[in-house]
Structures are given as C-alpha cells and as structure tokens.
C-alpha cells in the first residue's frame, strides 16, 4: 500500500508558498472538488484559481496541518487556517481582521494523484471573526 501522507502536504505547501503550480505534482488534471466554490473552474485549474484568490485576499494565509491520517487510498487532514483579510471576500469588504478557522479535507488518491477532495471549513466562525454579522 502506498503512503500518501507525505505526498498530500504538497497541497498545503501550495497555499503556504503562494505557488499554485505545486498542485500539478499532486492533483489529477480532472480533479474533483466537493463542494466547489461558487464560480470555481473545474479540475486542477480550479484549484490554482482558488489558491490565487485566497492568497490575494489573505496575503499572510497560513495552513498548519494538525493531523494527517490515512486509510487505504484516502488521506484525512485536519488543519488550521489563519490569515488577515486584505481584500473583498465573498462580497465582504475588508476590515483588516484576522481569521483562524479549522478545516477538514479528505483526499482520494489514484495512480499517485489526488482525484477527488471532500472538504469543510468553519467559515461561519471565520465570517464572525471578519465582522460579517456586525450591524
């Protein structure tokens, strides 16, 4: 059985280094993102789009992997996302506030590449931290 725990860290390195080209090493060309972000292009190019978008909005974005588990060809990662909003985010103007949220991703590997990712991030807490619900 392959050990994909080390390979999956390339995904997170792409955010931390602001280098979307890194995903070429780890994602299949027709990678599936579940759920995809609104307006996100399909496949690997969609991931590159997200990396640029998030690292532009949160220039100091950092993803810290807290736990990486593998079961067969699936790798589960629990991570912490931190950053300061410097641009519009989902229609929310910046107030230059910091965000600190948890994310959980399940990556499915086939032939050495990630073919599908299921993910959830605690954006409800994040939007509160960014002031989205203030009057």
Give per-residue pLDDT as tens, 85-106: 999 998 999 999 999 999 999 9
- Percentage with pLDDT > 90 across the chain: 93
pLDDT band at 1 (very low <50, low <70, confident <90, very high): low
Give per-residue pLDDT as tens, 37-49: 988 999 999 999 9
Residues 6+ apart with CB under 8 A from 80: 63, 64, 66, 100, 101, 102, 103
Q: What is the pTM of this model?
A: 0.94
């Amino acid at each position: 059985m392959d050990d994909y725990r080390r390979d999956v860290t390339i995904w997170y390195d792409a955010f931390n280094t602001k280098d979307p080209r890194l995903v070429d090493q780890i994602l299949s060309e027709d990678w599936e993102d579940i759920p995809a972000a609104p307006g996100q292009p399909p496949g690997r190019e969609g991931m590159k789009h997200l990396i640029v978008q998030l690292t532009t909005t949160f220039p100091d974005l950092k993803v810290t992997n807290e736990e990486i588990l593998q079961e067969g060809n699936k790798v589960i990662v629990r991570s912490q996302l931190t950053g300061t909003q410097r641009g519009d985010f989902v229609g929310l103007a910046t107030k230059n506030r910091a965000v600190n949220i948890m994310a959980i991703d399940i990556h499915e590997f086939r032939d050495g590449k990630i073919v599908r990712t299921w993910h959830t991030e605690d954006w409800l807490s994040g939007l509160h931290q960014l002031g989205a619900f203030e009057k």
